[in-house]
Structure formats: structure tokens, C-alpha cells
Structure 1
Amino acid sequence: MQDQNYALEGSLAEQGDVSRVLRNTYGLLAITLAFSGLVAFVAQQMNVRYPNIFVVLIGFYGLFFLTAKLRNSSWGLLSTFALTGFMGYTLGPILNRYLGMANGGEVIGTAMAMTALVFFGLSAYVLTTRKDMSFLAGFIIAGFFVLIGAMVAGIFFNIPGLQLAISAGFVLFASASILFQTSAIIHGGERNYIMATISLYVSIYNLFVSLLQLVGAFSGDD
């Protein structure tokens, strides 16, 4: 009987941890998305130029690993806003590019709506079914290296349709990452809400930018 009580208490404690991580993750995610959107708007209004690709890579990976290192301290929150703010800054010039098109506003709105639909749909699926998506780990790792290889090939070779294929690949990659990360939270694989937040944020960012390129291409403006 005592063992059953301990098991029940352990289960309730675990459910409490999951609820806390979910609440903190989605709360911080909402704030960082709003902050990133504000920075993107300011960058778009100021008509800033897109940073050099090496600046983007160093800035992103540098801030990402810094956040991972500081994830258990209050400095991790500051680093999280630095990362998401930087990504918002890079989004400003991208938005300006599409706003310069005839139906750019419609393209951006469609990509934004599709991003929200995919994110909330995938999150709701995992949260309601509580399926374990850990089997996607191999696909995500393989997909990462395939996409990196395709991007490198795109730099050196002019392959028709490669950019669209990469964008489509990033949509699948980001969707799998959302499923995997959400599942990791509810099944105990992720207990740090800062890491969960930046993982979901990066997936949403990649999803939006990729859908933006696909929608723009199929609308005849890209």
C-alpha cells in the first residue's frame, strides 16, 4: 500500500513538472515571438540590409550555444532574448524583400497563417494523443546534414529548383522538430523550459521563412 502511495506521489510530481515546463515554455515562447516580431518590424521600417551570411551563422550559433550554457541561470533568459532578437533582426530585410512585390503583404500573411496552423496543429496533436515522438531523432539528425549539404551545393552550383527543394525540406524538418520537442517535454526528455523555448522558436522561424519562400514562388513573385 505504501509503495502504491509513493508511486502515486511520484506520478503526480512528474505531471506537475510537465505542466510547469509546458506553462513556462509556452509563456516564454509567446513573449520571445512578440519581441522578435517587434525587432523585425523595426528592422523592416529602418530598411536595414541583410547581414553577411557569416555574421548570421556566427551570431545564431554563438547565441544558441551561449543560451544552452546559461540555461540554468537567469542569464539564460537574457541570452534567449538576445538570440530571438537577433533572429528578428535578420527577418526584417526578408520581409522588405517580399513587401516590395505586388502581392507581398498577401504572401507574408499567408505564410504567417500557415505557420500558425502547422505549429498549433502539430502541438495539439502531440499534447492530446501524448504519443512518444522520440523515434524522429534519427530523421532530424539526418535531415540536418542533408539540408546543410544541399545549402552548400546551392552556393557552388546553379541547380534549378534547389532552393525550393531546400525550403520544402526545412518545412518537413521544422515540423518534425516541433513534434519531437513537444513530445520531449511531456515525456520527461526536456525539463529546461529555456532550451525547450529556443528549440521551438527556431523551428517556428525556419517554418515561417521556408513557407514564405514557397508561397512567394508559387504566387509567381519569387
Structure 2
Amino acid sequence: MKQLPTQYRSPSTIGGFGQGVSAISAHKVLRQTYLLLSMTLLFSAAMAGVSMAIGAPYGLSLVCSLVSMGLLWFVVPRTANSEAGIWVVFAVTGLLGFGLGPILNRYMAMANGTQTVMTALGLTGAIFLGLSAYAVKTRRDFSFMRGFLVGGIILAFVLSIGLLVASLFGVYLQPLSLAISAMFALLMCGMILYQTGDIINGGETNYVLATVSLYLSIYNLFVSLLQLLGYANSDD
């Protein structure tokens, strides 16, 4: 059958399966996402450094976290398709970075605290780069993981709330806390695969939303690893 001229063919037919205009668009989104993600991670780290330097209290850390959650739920979705969305992403990541300051100071005060923080940071970077490279190279569709990941994250949050309530009554369940941290770490690894695959296969076309999603996965992975390594080092 005679093919249509290129200018009249749909993006999916140009260059074959996923190799034409749609693939170029996906790579553009991925490139923009990684660029914005790199800048927000650096900004977040700088804000964490400021927070540590001034000795920000835990109360201020909690306020920053709550404000960032509000921006994530109500502002990011409304501004994702405009230039303002980029500034909102920087606001979210800056607040979360600032909120990490008191947590990092607590770990830094522990024996081998600097090593613990740097190990968690190194592992987070290595895991992200490894999983992202795998998703980009294989171009696999990880959408089958979505239900499991969403269900696992909801369960982990419910368990976290239960742990918090128990602590208010003077009951602290260390094994459950470690299990939740390990659960979050594994789930965030899955989320990085799923989110990167979603970009590669054209499921996510907004680099602002993609950046926020990947940043949150990296952030939660780092915090989870920090908790696990901190506990391990405290037993040394």
C-alpha cells in the first residue's frame, strides 16, 4: 500500500514504532525534566545547608513541610502548564530542602553522623542514576507497577500515621519504624522506574509534573535510607 507523504502521516508512523516525532517529543520532555530536576536538587541542597547553618528548629521544619505539601496539592497542578509552575517547583523543593536541615543536624551529631549522611546521599544518587539508566536504555513500560506502588504507598502512610499515634501515647515501635523506612525505600525505587518509563513512553508530557514526581521519589528515598543507615550505625 502506498504510504502517505510524511507531512500527512501521524507522529506514531514517522520512523516506525516509537522512533519518530513522538519519540523525539518524549526525549525532549526527559531532557527538560532532568535539567529542571538537577537545578531543584541543587537548590534544595543549598536550602538544607542554610537550615543547618542557622540551626532551624523542628517546628519550623514541620511548617515548611506542610506548606510544601499544600503547594503540591493545590498550586502545582494549576500552574504546571505555565512559566509560574517552574517557580512553584523551586518553592516546593526549597521548602522541603530547608525542612531537612534539623533532621540532618540530628544525624550529624551522632557518632559517624557525617559518614551516615554521605553514604545515604551516595546511595540515593547511585540508585537513581542506575534505575533511570535502565529505564531509558530498555524503554520498558512499567505501567503494570502502578497499582502495586499506589497501594504500597497508601499502606506505608497508614502505618506511619499509626506509628505516630502510638508514639503520642509513649509507645515507640522501632521494628515497625524500620520496616516502614525499608518499605518506602523499595517503593521509591519502583516509582523512579515507573516515572522514568512513563516519560520515555509518552505517558507524561509535562516536565514540571515529571520533575516534581521524580524529586519526591528521590527525597523520600534519601530520607528512608538515612533512617535505616542511622539505626545501623547507632548499633555500632
TM-score after normalising by structure 2: 0.89
Which runs of 5 or more structure 2 residues have no equivalent in the other structure? none
* 2:25 aligned to which of 9, 17, 24: 17
- Amino acid of the residue matched to residue 14 of structure 1? S
Is residue 103 from structure 1 mapped to residue 112 from structure 2 by the alignment? yes
1:99-142 residue CA offsets vs partner (Å, 9 max, x unmatched): 11121100001001110111011101111111110011101110
Question: Which ranges in structure 1 are unaligned for 5 or more consecutive residues?
Answer: none
Quote the residue 1:132 is aligned against.
Answer: 141
Structure-2 separation of matches of 1:183 and 1:133: 6
Structure of higher CA gyration radius? 2
Query: 1:207 maps to what in 2?
Result: 221
Residue 86 of structure 2: which of 69, 77, 85 is its match? 77
Any idea what the Cα deviations from partners look like across 1:140-182, whole Å, max 9, x if unmatched?
1101210111011102223231111111011011111101100
1:28 to 36, 39, 42: 36
Q: In the alignment, which residue of structure 2 is the partner of 1:3? A: 4
Alpha-carbon RMSD across the aligned residues, in angstroms, is: 1.8
CA distance in structure 2 between the aligned counterparts of 1:154 and 1:204, rounded to whole angstroms: 23
In 2, Cα distance between the equivalents of 1:110 and 1:53? Answer: 23
Match of 1:197 among 211, 217, 223: 211
Aligned to 2:100: 91
Deviates further, 15-24 or 152-161: 152-161
Paired residues, number: 222
Q: Percent identity?
A: 43
- Match 1:50 to one of 49, 58, 71: 58
- Greater displacement, 111-120 / 150-159: 150-159
1:186 partner amino acid: I
Q: Quick check: 1:101–1:221 contact (8 Å CA) kept in 2?
A: no
8 Å contact kept, 1:51–1:90: no
